[in-house]
Amino acid sequence: MRTRSQVIIVGGGPVGVGLAVDLGLRGISCTLVERRIGMHKIPRGQNLAQRTLERCYFWGCVDEVRAQRLLPPEVPAAGVTAYKSLMSEHWHTFAGREIVSQYYFQRNDRMPQYLLEGVLRRRMAGIPLVEAQFGWAARSIEQDASGVRVAIENEAGDGARVMLEGDYVVGCDGGHSIVRDQAGITRDGSDFDQLMVLAVFRSRELSEGLKRFPMQSTYRVLHPELNGYWQFFGRIDPEIGWFFHSPVPADTTRDNYDFAALLHKSAGFKFACDFDHVGFWDLRVAVAQRYRTGRVFIAGDAAHSHPPYGGFGLNNGLEDVANLGWKLAARLQGWGGEKLLDSYDEERRPVFKEVGEQFIAARIAWEGELINRHDPEREGEAFKRAWAELKTGSGPFVANYEPNYEGSPVLFGPPGGVSRARGDHMFKARAGHHLAPRALSSGLNVFEELGNGFTLLAFDAEDDAVAGFEQSARARKIPLKIIRDSCAGGREDYEARLVLVRPDQYVAWTSDIAPADADAVMRKVAGRAG
């Protein structure tokens, strides 16, 4: 076993494996430690956002990921919302991430998390710089000025212990992260004090019974008794595979509760089913107070955990990877400064805080309030208005989710800008925002040409403007690719002739003219200003 690598990753769920792939492809050696050998068979994060598929594209496995999809391609990621039960006369379909697809290079997709994880594990196995230790658990983490040490123990029970050494450690070890705890990082958030059940089951009769709806991925039930908490059925495959979430009383156990009756009540009809798994989770939103302390970082559920409402968990975890991977590589390769590492927390943590507050907790409160206000039996018209408001009001929870880093100290956001989850999708290139895709005159998409480091898009820009960036990048060994093209053919939608794009496809700086000091721009975006 290799005992020294540049980065030690604790936890080999999707976030840890994704980070190992990202770092390995950037030329960074890493050791990944995961206590499980096999893959869990609970579908978990099914809803893969466009950004997650963009990651898979850059990791060279997007086609393999898409090939794992179990539902027909035309089935949308979102679904149906019904009142009290799925047999209710009050129901509507709600929008999924499809509505913002034009702003991303990859469309969203859907599949059980373990199928995505399988592809990522295979991708990781093909990268020589990554060594994965499955069946080992991290027991202690220490750091000093020169590096980190992680003691790992074999889960086989033979007591074998090994000390790993590295420059940095990243805790991708889930909600109960020991890396977070040992780094002394505490969490804030909202505890809804609500126990939830997750049942995974097979039922052909349920699939038959839901043929009144166009085929959807999820079927939500809102009930006045549930205070805005969802009951929802999710399809694993088109025929028999299902999972179901619902609030349950606090003292519920596997043995003292009739889960089939709960499913029947929520569906509105009886059906035969075979349970494969019944588990519980607490409805809670928790965000770490820091994502970094010295040489220790946390990412994914270790940094933020929350209910599976809206598909934020897995996708946000992989966005942490997109943000942190290139920054760690830049620091280790000597062209990125300490400020770049600090910016991981400054960019990502406010985004997730707002996800928890404005997209998860606020939605539970808003839907609960609307559904409790009117009873269709007594106030038919008022109920219909509230129900219509629920449909139109759910759209912005999808459309306005546009994480951006306008407040970041390592890019040129607007004065007073803050990093947040809420924003507007547009083609205009704005510092702090994800770059939208556009075609180049070659016929390729700009995303197909972006470099692994920074990329300067120069559309009918003066040679001098480009030369200043090239000189600075060469002198400071910052990887920079130049893409020249005309400011036409749709590229004028960027509304800037010069667009500097980061390795995570976020825009760092824009202008129509050469900056007074291109070197100052490059120093800042590489975290080396001041």
Ligand X SMILES: Cc1cc2nc3c(=O)[nH]c(=O)nc-3n(C[C@H](O)[C@H](O)[C@H](O)COP(=O)(O)OP(=O)(O)OC[C@H]3O[C@@H](n4cnc5c(N)ncnc54)[C@H](O)[C@@H]3O)c2cc1C
Binding site for ligand X (CB under 6 A): 10-16, 33-36, 44-47, 113, 137-138, 172-174, 178, 198, 281, 300-301, 308, 311-315, 317
CA 370 distance to own-chain centroid: 29
Question: Tokens in use for 312?
Answer: 């934020």
Q: Which is nearer to ligand X, 45 or 166 (CB)?
A: 45
As measured in angstroms, the least distance from the Cβ of 331 to ligand X is 22
Beta strands in 289-400 (DSSP E): 292-293, 296-298, 304-305
Q: What is the rounded distance in angstroms from the CA atom of residue 147 to the CA atom of residue 183?
A: 14
Three-state SS for 120-154 is HHHHHHCCCCEEEEECEEEEEEEEECCEEEEEEEE
Q: Cβ of 15: how many Cβ atoms within 10 Å?
A: 31
Q: How far is the CB of 17 from ligand X (least distance, A)?
A: 8
Q: How many CB atoms lie within 10 A of CB 2?
A: 10
| C-beta of 24 vs 174, nearer to ligand X | 174
CB of 51 to ligand X, least distance (A): 11
CB of 497 to ligand X, least distance (A): 37
Q: Which is nearer to ligand X, 14 or 527 (CB)?
A: 14
Closer to ligand X by CB, 299 or 435: give it.
299
Closest approach of ligand X to the CB of residue 442, in Å: 34
Contacts of 336 by beta carbon, 8 Å cutoff, 6+ apart: 327, 329, 330, 526, 527, 528
Closest CA to 267 of 240, 237, 238, 244: 244
Q: Which is nearer to ligand X, 39 or 426 (CB)?
A: 39
Q: Which is nearer to ligand X, 295 or 438 (CB)?
A: 295
**Residue 269 or 280 with smaller CB distance to ligand X:** 280
Q: Write down the least CB distance from residue 440 to ligand X, Å.
A: 31
Q: Is 423 exposed, middle or buried (0-12, 13-18, 19+ CB in 10 A)?
A: middle
CA distance 511 to 517: 13
Q: How far is the CB of 529 from ligand X (least distance, A)?
A: 32
CB of 125 to ligand X, least distance (A): 16
CB 359 to ligand X: min, Å? 12
Paired strand residues for 30: 7, 130
Q: Which is nearer to ligand X, 24 or 317 (CB)?
A: 317
Strand partners, 47: 110
What's the rounded Cα separation, in Å, for the pair 77 and 314?
15
Of 58, 104, 110, residue with least CA distance to 448: 58
The answer to whether the CB of 132 falls within 8 A of the CB of 124 is: yes
Backbone angles phi, psi at 190, to 5 degrees: -110, 130
The distance of closest approach from Cβ of residue 133 to ligand X in the complex, given in angstroms and rounded to an integer, is: 9
Q: Which two tokens stand for residue 290?
A: 């820091």
How many angstroms separate the Cα of 232 from the Cα of each of 78, 112, 199, 387? 12, 16, 10, 18
Q: For ligand X, which is the closer residue by CB, 169 or 518?
A: 169
At residue 222, φ and ψ (nearest 5 deg) are -110, 130
Residue (172 or 526) nearer to ligand X, CB: 172
Nearest distance, CB of residue 45 and ligand X, angstroms: 3
d(CA 319, CA 464): 35
| φ/ψ of residue 303, rounded to 5 | -95, -30
Nearer to ligand X, 247 or 308 (CB): 308
